[in-house]
């Protein structure tokens, strides 16, 4: 019995020691996972990804010899960057810290790797990142400068990519789904030249890497680290919906030059929603397919056909979003806002942020409260306390200024006024149109908005639900209504986001607005064609799942 106890004790001691050894290797021992690029040119920036590399620089060993400290650009627990030496053809690379020496990774100079002459020439002009400022404590919306060479000029194929998948374990520039793409012509980009790119950090980024892609190839990756000290948007429950939208036309007669154009909205692409549109009937009439809308055309040749139909299906995936906001640390937008925020601070055809009453109330709120997030709540409370909500949401849209004067308006009017008030206070805001999904799977036309906080990005919110103005038949998913000041549930389906100008038409053309759940300036444009149009509200199909 004593012998058995000794054996059991010895086994437990062995397991304890083995576990401690494994813990040591996992928590302290340096481990390398990726080196990129593996065949750099001399002078290129090379990134190493691993774990337990140390807060303070250790030694970067090339065939057992430490690389000069001058060649090392950055050193962190999971990332190291260095300049490729001129005198190295190939080397076994390891990292040495106070806790040991890592596993090896192989590195070879691109000049020493045989390749066809054409490939050599292409590689010599591929983009290369030599530095990023800053590389740490970056925030969404703040400026970042990427320096290097061969970035080219702004053009369609030039873009910069940021990691959007947390804790990505390898540098996979081929899988672009892991990255957020910023086009060289985007308003986020302040400057794009052959040697330098200055831009503002886009929404949805995570600590990881960035790289540049042009017509000449893909650059090396460069590590960057983002601060979440101001807050972060978090996704929750997701829902999938299948919707059908039908438009029925009865063409009675047409002049030889008669025509009719229908502009049909598509579900909006947002941070919290993706959608696919398929045409089930009427594809032969499709003349344009753009982001946010499709155009269908009819003419005198369609008059003898009588009844015509356009049937579309939408596959929509939408997520619950809540923002975790460090309210006391929220920052206001600078007095000279960056270009990408300017459209959301100015008045437009929908949002009357320059209205005298709006400007006056904005000043009154700003005297009481300087914090942008608290201003969001005060704006919603003022709108829903001072503008009576007494018009059905399905009424044809009217000008929000009229609602201000009469102090009565539809849900659409009140949301546009709310966004106007936020813009007048310097809080970037955009209105959203769409539907609420009821528990019995009906769609209720509805409107909400998004506001922008530096360091966090765009935050969807529903002023109506936050102030207790719940449409009949809808049950909010958030039990605490104030949560809707900093997020929305997955029962919101966005169909339109902000004012989107449509192509100009001839002055003599007849323009009509048919649907309330869109922010387009018109839905139909006709000349010399007699017809009747029935726009059915989208409906959820039985196959819709939640």
For residue range 115-164, list pLDDT tens digits in order. Answer: 555 445 455 689 999 989 988 888 999 999 999 999 999 998 899 999 88
- Are 148 and 191 within one domain? yes
Residue by residue, what is the 3-state secondary structure of 426-484? Answer: CCCEEEEEEEEECCCCCEEEEEEEEEEECECEEEEECHHHHCCCCCCCCCCCCCCHHHH
pLDDT of residue 304: 87
Residue 344 lies in a domain: yes
CA distance 429 to 408: 22
pLDDT of residue 355: 95
| Domain boundary pick from 119, 150, 182 | 119
pLDDT of residue 62: 92
pLDDT of residue 398: 67
CA distance 306 to 243: 26
pLDDT tens by residue, 70-121: 889 888 888 888 888 988 888 889 999 988 899 888 888 877 766 555 445 4
Residue 22 lies in a domain: no
- Are 114 and 170 within one domain? no
Question: Could you tell me the end-to-end alpha-carbon distance of the chain, in angstroms, rounded to an integer?
Answer: 61
Q: Is 23 helix (H, G, I), strand (E, B) or coil?
A: helix
Tally of domains within the chain: 4
Whether 2 has a pLDDT exceeding 90, the answer reads no
Quick check: 524 and 511 in contact, CB under 8 A?
yes
pLDDT of residue 22: 53
Phi, psi (deg, nearest 5) at residue 110: -60, -30
Buried residues in 214-251 as b, exposed as e (16+ CB within 10 A):
bebeebbbbbbbbeeebbbbeeeeebebebebbbebeb
- Are 382 and 490 within one domain? yes
Beta bridge partners of 161: 181, 211
- Are 383 and 249 within one domain? no
Which of 30-44, 79-93, 227-241 ranks highest by mean pLDDT?
227-241
pLDDT of residue 541: 93
pLDDT tens by residue, 315-333: 999 999 999 999 999 988 8
Residue 15 lies in a domain: no
- Are 485 and 347 within one domain? yes
- Give the mean pLDDT of the chain: 88
- Are 245 and 307 within one domain? yes
CA distance 484 to 320: 11
- Are 140 and 188 within one domain? yes
Say whether the peptide bond before residue 478 is cis (omega within 30 degrees of 0): no
Q: What value does the mean pLDDT take over residues 186-205?
A: 95
- Are 207 and 263 within one domain? no
Residue 223 lies in a domain: yes
**Closest listed residue to residue 163, CA positions, set 201, 130, 118:** 201
Residue 11 lies in a domain: no
| Domain boundary pick from 497, 512, 529 | 497
Quick check: 347 and 420 in contact, CB under 8 A?
yes
- Are 241 and 387 within one domain? no
pLDDT tens by residue, 360-390: 999 999 999 999 999 999 999 999 999 999 8
Phi, psi (deg, nearest 5) at residue 454: -60, 135
Whether 424 has a pLDDT exceeding 70, the answer reads yes
pLDDT of residue 546: 46
Residue 297 lies in a domain: yes
| Domain boundary pick from 72, 104, 119 | 119
- Are 113 and 138 within one domain? no
- Site of tokens 């398929």: 278
Residue 84 lies in a domain: yes
- Are 199 and 212 within one domain? yes
CA geometry: angle at 162 spanning 161 and 164, to 5°? Answer: 125
CA distance 159 to 182: 5
Residue 19 lies in a domain: no
CA distance 308 to 311: 10
Give the CA radius of gyration of the chain.
29
Joined tokens for residue 2:
């004593």
pLDDT of residue 246: 97
Eight-state DSSP code of residue 412: H
Q: Residue 392: which residues within 8 A CB-CB, separation 6 or more?
A: 410
Beta bridge partners of 254: 529
Give CA separation, 112 vs 38, 39, 42, 89, 287, in Å: 12, 9, 11, 6, 54
Q: What value does the mean pLDDT take over residues 478-494?
A: 97
Phi, psi (deg, nearest 5) at residue 108: -140, 140
- Site of tokens 């929908």: 350
H/E stretch holding 443 reads: strand 443-453
Give CA separation, 411 vs 331, 390, 408, 464, 546, in Å: 30, 9, 10, 8, 26
Q: What is the CATH number of the domain that holds 157?
A: 2.60.40.10
Give CA separation, 96 vs 20, 24, 52, 53, 82, in Å: 21, 15, 10, 8, 15
Q: What percent of the chain has pLDDT over 70?
A: 89
Quick check: 351 and 499 in contact, CB under 8 A?
yes
Q: What value does the mean pLDDT take over residues 240-263?
A: 94
Q: What is the CATH number of the domain that holds 442?
A: 3.10.620.30
Q: What value does the mean pLDDT take over residues 385-412?
A: 81
Whether 171 has a pLDDT exceeding 80, the answer reads no
- Site of tokens 């109330």: 361
Full residue range of the structural domain in which residue 42 is found: 28-119
Q: Is 22 helix (H, G, I), strand (E, B) or coil?
A: helix
- Are 464 and 351 within one domain? yes
User: Kind of pairing, strands 408-409 and 388-389?
Assistant: parallel
């Amino acid at each position: 019995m004593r012998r058995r106890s000794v054996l059991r004790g010895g086994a437990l001691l062995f397991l304890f020691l083995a576990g401690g050894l494994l813990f040591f290797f996992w928590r302290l021992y340096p481990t390398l996972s990726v080196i990129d690029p593996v065949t750099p040119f001399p002078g290129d920036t090379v990134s190493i990804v691993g774990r337990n590399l140390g807060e303070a620089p250790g030694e970067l060993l090339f065939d057992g010899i430490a690389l000069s400290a001058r060649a090392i650009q950055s050193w962190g627990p999971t990332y190291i960057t260095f300049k490729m030496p001129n005198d190295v053809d190939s080397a076994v690379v390891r990292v040495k810290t106070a806790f040991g020496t890592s596993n090896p990774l192989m590195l070879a100079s691109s000049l020493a790797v045989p390749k066809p002459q054409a490939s050599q020439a292409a590689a010599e002009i591929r983009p290369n990142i030599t530095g990023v400022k800053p590389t740490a404590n970056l925030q969404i919306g703040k400026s970042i400068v990427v320096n290097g060479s061969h970035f080219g000029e702004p053009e369609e194929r030039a873009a910069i990519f940021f990691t959007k998948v947390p804790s990505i374990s390898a540098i996979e520039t081929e899988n672009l789904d892991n990255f957020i793409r910023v086009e060289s012509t985007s308003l986020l980009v302040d400057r794009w030249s052959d040697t330098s790119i200055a831009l503002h950090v886009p929404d949805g980024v995570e600590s990881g890497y960035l790289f540049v892609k042009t017509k000449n190839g893909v650059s090396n990756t460069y590590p960057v680290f983002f601060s979440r000290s101001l807050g972060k948007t978090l996704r929750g429950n997701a829902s999938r919906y299948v919707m059908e939208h039908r438009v029925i036309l009865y063409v009675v007669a047409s002049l030889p030059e008669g025509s009719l154009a229908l502009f049909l909205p598509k579900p909006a692409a947002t941070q919290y929603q993706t959608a696919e549109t398929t045409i089930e009937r009427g594809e032969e009439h499709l003349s344009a397919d753009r982001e946010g809308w499709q155009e269908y055309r009819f003419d005198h040749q369609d008059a003898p056909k009588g009844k015509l139909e356009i049937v579309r299906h939408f596959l929509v995936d939408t997520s619950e979003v809540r923002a975790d906001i460090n309210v006391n640390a929220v920052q206001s937008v600078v007095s000279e806002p960056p270009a990408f925020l300017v459209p959301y601070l100015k008045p437009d055809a929908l949002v009357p942020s320059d209205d005298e009453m709006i400007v006056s109330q904005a000043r009154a709120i700003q005297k009481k409260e300087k914090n942008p997030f608290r201003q969001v709540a005060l704006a919603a409370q003022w709108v829903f306390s001072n503008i009576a909500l007494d018009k059905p949401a399905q009424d044809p849209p009217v000008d929000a200024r009229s609602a201000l004067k009469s102090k009565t308006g539809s849900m659409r009017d009140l949301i546009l006024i709310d966004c106007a008030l936020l813009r007048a206070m310097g809080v970037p805001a955009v209105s959203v149109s769409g539907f609420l999904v009821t528990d019995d799977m009906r769609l209720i036309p509805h409107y909400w908005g998004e506001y922008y906080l530096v360091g966090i990005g765009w935050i969807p919110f529903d002023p109506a639900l936050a102030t207790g103005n719940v449409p009949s038949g809808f049950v909010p998913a958030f039990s605490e209504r104030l949560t809707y000041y900093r997020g929305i549930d997955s029962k919101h389906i966005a169909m339109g986001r902000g004012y989107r100008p449509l192509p100009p038409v001839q002055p003599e053309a007849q323009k009509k607005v048919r649907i309330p759940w869109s922010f387009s300036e018109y839905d139909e444009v006709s000349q010399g064609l007699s017809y009747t149009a029935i726009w059915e509200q989208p409906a959820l199909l039985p196959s819709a799942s939640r």
